């Protein structure tokens, strides 16, 4: 008998999980490309019954993943232990502070602001200083050419529709004389 068709013995399983399997109900399933033994499994939580391939049980046992629960109950247990809020933002193990670089520009997490999600930091800094979101035809220019230097004194607002090099006044209805 190969490993795929060898029946499962009660001695192979830990005592707490043993009651989840009905050992008298093992049978061999045959398909054109494979053949394996399956056993009837009764979930320890909801009592749902399902046929489970014995090789999967042995693999889960070897990896320490055998719980005696059906897939829906096991998924619900995992969801309780690790809620989705745990996997986003600062709770996510892959969180890197909400900053990353694309073509030399710093992108930051803005959350639920006017940009919703990630946006280029220089646009966020200038929009906050102006007190309004930037229009799509407005371009933020870095005076010193360093795309990562997003200090307000290094940023200028340019209008895209004008010839290159033309600077926009710091506010659309400016009468103060500053450029």
Map residue 126 onto helix, strand or coil.
helix
Q: Is residue 127 part of a domain?
A: yes
In-domain check, residue 82: no
Beta bridge partners of 105: 102
Residue 110 structural domain: 99-159
User: Any idea what DSSP says for residue 167?
Assistant: B
Q: Residue 44 and residue 47: Cα distance in Å, rounded?
A: 6
Contact 60, 68 (CB under 8 A): no
Tokens standing for residue 129: 């200083």
Within-domain flag for 110: yes
Contact present, 80 and 69 (Cβ < 8 Å)? no
Write out pLDDT tens, residues 112-152: 665 567 889 999 999 999 999 898 888 888 888 899 999 99
pTM for this entry: 0.44
pLDDT digits (tens, 9 = 90+) for 17-29: 899 999 999 999 8
Is position 169 within any domain?
no
Number of domains in the chain: 2
3-state SS assignment for residue 107: strand
pLDDT band at 16 (very low <50, low <70, confident <90, very high): confident
Phi and psi at residue 62, to the nearest 5°: -65, -35
Count CB neighbours of 140 within 10 A. 19
């Amino acid at each position: 008998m190969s490993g795929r068709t060898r029946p499962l013995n009660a001695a192979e399983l830990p005592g707490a999980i043993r009651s989840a399997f009905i050992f008298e109900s093992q049978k061999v399933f045959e398909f054109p490309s494979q053949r394996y033994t399956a056993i009837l499994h009764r979930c320890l939580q909801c009592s749902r019954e399902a046929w489970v391939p014995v090789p999967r049980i042995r693999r889960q046992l070897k990896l320490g993943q055998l719980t005696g629960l059906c897939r829906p109950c096991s998924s619900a247990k995992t969801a309780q232990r690790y809620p989705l809020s745990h996997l986003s933002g600062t709770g996510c193990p892959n969180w890197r502070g909400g900053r990353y670089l694309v073509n030399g520009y710093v992108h930051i997490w803005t959350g639920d602001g006017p940009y919703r999600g990630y946006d280029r930091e220089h646009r966020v800094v200038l929009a906050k200083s102006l007190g309004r979101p930037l229009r799509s035809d407005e371009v933020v220019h870095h005076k010193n050419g360093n795309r990562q230097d997003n200090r307000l004194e290094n940023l200028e607002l340019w209008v895209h529709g004008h010839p290159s090099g033309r600077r926009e006044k710091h506010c659309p209805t400016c009468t103060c004389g500053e450029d």
